[in-house]
Amino acid sequence: MLTWQVSREEKGRPNSTMANTSKSSSQLRILYAEGDPEVLASQSVTLEKAGYNVTQAEGRQQVHDTLRKEKFDLVILGLTLTKNDRHHLAYMVKKAQPGTRLLVTHTDGEGHPAVDATLETGRSINALLEKIASMHPQAAGAASGR
């Protein structure tokens, strides 16, 4: 099973990103998509513990169907989706919801015109949480009391 990598340094220390986002990030609506149901479930729990309102989607069709029913602030295309799915879903997200931000994980440095941010292969779950906070500073700022 593929999961996010947790470094030795991160295992022993408190997750400051989680602590900083837990109060206000619940207002941030995230559609989180993966190809593997186990990875989807486990990583969604981490995002929810950080205080985010997470809707799960397994695979391309479920992402498409969910985007037609609900509005999101952020869509995350995860590491177990195929490269082809990540490529095509990026366009689908922007067509269905032009104002929604898009974060694609498991990239190899390639750019995509529809993608707002990327997270390279091998990064930790904390790096994902930090990237979300950087994309939505109002949620992180309000959570930290600013």
CATH number at residue 64: 3.40.50.2300
Has residue 5 been placed in a domain?
no
Name the pTM for this structure.
0.77
**Residue 106, domain member (yes or no):** yes
Residue 118 lies in a domain: yes
pLDDT above 70 (res 86): yes
Domain residues for the domain of 61 are 19-143
Residue 143 pLDDT > 70: no
Report yes or no on 3 lying in a domain. Answer: no
Mean pLDDT of the residues in the chain: 79
Residue 107 pLDDT class (50, 70, 90 cuts): low
**Spatial contact of 51 and 25, defined as CB atoms under 8 Å apart:** yes
- Nearest by Cα to 85 from 69, 70, 104, 67: 104
115 near 138, Cβ under 8 Å? no
Confirm whether 129 is domain-assigned: yes
What is the percent of the chain with per-residue pLDDT over 70, rounded to a whole number?
Answer: 73
28: nearest Cα among 138, 130, 144: 138
Are the C-beta atoms of 93 and 99 separated by less than 8 Å?
no
Asked whether residue 124 is domain-assigned, the answer is yes
Residues 27 and 114: their CA atoms lie apart, in Å, by 24
Average of pLDDT values for 73-81? 95
**How many domains would you assign to the chain?**
1
